[in-house]
A and B are shown apart, each in its own frame.
Chain A
């Protein structure tokens, strides 16, 4: 293989890898079951980091994390319960995989929402007031991806235009 061919491969490889990543994320987002869960700032003093909101999803379960640093799943249907990730009940139709971190917070890779700089302050305030809901797409393997952020049931783009 001559060097020029190798260069062509070296240039094509990153483009293909990035395109595949974008396509995969897009497919995950468009397929899967839709779930809406309320969110709240788990540290109200530091809700905004750079240009994204960080929050805790409210799964409607008390003491979701019984242990720290352990892979966990949250079953959403037919009933809500937390379970070790490798022993999800067979009758659980919809669940989200994640882990309980060292602070006993459940993380499923959906605890960050990127926002434009100019709307950061207003969105931060609304999420702090517990007016935010996260719309997710959850696939049968329990992987959740974010579809949208709703404020008072409206897409956040609408909410930032509203006076309150």
Chain B
């Protein structure tokens, strides 16, 4: 409140508001306190999460001397008590933190219960099936959560369980292989984006939109970085269409969703569809990539037998830059300031890495390091000065 009072004082002195308005604003803020202090909220939920983790750890320590029936009875009694507490606190949910704390505790205890049942009956199930099962049984309850933390927690575990369950479902039993890893990396951002679109269209799911958008962006950056590194190194050539089938289906649904999105104009739709198509192309080896590199980052010589445009370590960065550029224009166009800044920063960073790839031998020398340092400063400066122009241009593109 003191920060606000100081600001109001400055505004009065600057003639922006009258002393009467100053008094009125202060009186209003005093009579309408915030729903709760954010730090209290955060610490209480954090405490609840830590207690939940403690319960999971206790279960994991596997007390063999306690009979199974007693363990299960204690577990279900605790679940029932927490459920009763949540139901009892429900009328106060808009004011108090206890409702949220109990919901987080209940959700964690549900997760711990799955672990306990697995432990008692020695189930050999996969972790992603357990997460998906947990997410499904707590889905309805997660709709009642008000805190961003609770929803973020639920969305994170749900997405992890769903992505890996889908990939494992269409593939083989991959407990001993990570061949499906690239397919999961591609599927994750696409699925998050599709669910984000659904969340925007359904008022019940609105609360999950920001968490889904966060995981879409993080997942997309990870998928892009992984594909870039793998392709630049001549890897990722083992392609099985069946592994990528879920990603293609989700991409098709996502494309339909983008086309039906009324908030986007034609330019945005085309930008997003182009970025999506290029991302899919990245994971498909036979069209763009040869498996050969021209440059070496750590050796002192280059493999110049491959022509510049044929080399995967040239094509991959160009594809990365194209995808980032398309998405940056879209973000600037729709006014997503932070996303725009992040993506343009990534573009600059990729240029620097591309330089090191191409000039690896020279960069090891003193002159090379001086040039490299200058280039980093130059690109940083260009990024700082150029992003405003790019944002203005992307907005003008609309007109």
Contact = CB atoms under 8 A, between A and B. Distances in A.
Given A7-B86, A117-B61, A14 B141 contact: yes
B87 A69 contact: no
Given A8-B87, A101-B175, A114 B125 contact: no
A15 B137 CA distance: 9
Q: State the majority secondary structure of interface residues on B.
A: helix
Contact of A50 (B60, B106, B113, B122): B60
Contact of B137 (A17, A109, A115): A17
Contact of A14 (B72, B138, B143): B138
Nearest to A16: B137
A114 B113 contact: no
A69 B119 CA distance: 27
Given A14-B141, A25-B123, A19 B61 contact: no
A34 B86 CA distance: 43
B173 A114 contact: no
A92 interface: no
Interface in B71-123: 72, 76, 79-80, 83, 86-87, 90, 106, 110, 113-114, 117-123
Contacts of A95: none
A145 interface: yes
Given A7-B90, A11-B86, A50-B60, A18 B137 contact: yes
B90 A4 contact: yes
Contacts of B62: 51, 114-117
Contacts of A11: 83, 86-87, 106, 141
A102 B177 CA distance: 7
Interface string A42-55: 00000000111000
B366 interface: no
Interface in A102-133: 102-103, 105, 107, 109-117, 119
B10 to A, nearest CB: 44
B122 A146 contact: yes
Contacts of B38: none
Interface string A23-64: 001101100000000000000000000111000000000000
Nearest to A71: B173
A114 B122 contact: yes
B144 A10 contact: yes
A25 B80 contact: no
Contact of B143 (A10, A29, A103, A113): A10
B176 A103 contact: yes
A69 B240 CA distance: 15
B137 A107 contact: no
Contacts of A116: 61-64
B63 A102 contact: no
B355 interface: no
B287 interface: no
B175 A112 contact: no
Contacts of A69: 172-173
B144 A7 contact: yes
Contacts of A90: none
A22 B61 contact: no
Range class of the B interface residue count:
35 or more
Contact of A19 (B76, B120, B176): B76
Nearest to A147: B122
A102 to B, nearest CB: 5
Task: Output the residue of B72, B122, B176 with the most chain A CB within 10 A.
Answer: B122
Nearest to B99: A7
Task: Output the residue of A7, A26, A29 with the most chain B CB within 10 A.
Answer: A7
Contacts of B119: 114
A146 B119 CA distance: 11
Contacts of B76: 15, 18-19
Nearest to B60: A51
Interface in A64-123: 68-69, 99, 101-103, 105, 107, 109-117, 119
Contacts of A21: 114, 117
A96 to B, nearest CB: 13
Nearest to A28: B121
A76 B60 CA distance: 34
Nearest to B122: A146
Nearest to B80: A15
Interface of B: 60-64, 72, 76, 79-80, 83, 86-87, 90, 106, 110, 113-114, 117-125, 133, 137-138, 140-141, 143-144, 172-177, 179
Lowest 8 A-B CB distances belong to which pairs? A69-B172, A10-B140, A25-B121, A109-B124, A11-B83, A146-B122, A10-B141, A14-B137
25 contacts: A3-B144, A6-B140, A10-B144, A11-B141, A12-B83, A13-B140, A14-B79, A15-B83, A18-B79, A18-B137, A21-B114, A22-B72, A28-B121, A50-B60, A101-B173, A102-B176, A102-B179, A109-B124, A109-B125, A111-B124, A112-B123, A114-B118, A117-B62, A145-B122, A146-B122
Given A101-B173, A117-B61, 7 more contacts: A4-B90, A7-B86, A22-B121, A25-B123, A102-B172, A103-B176, A145-B121
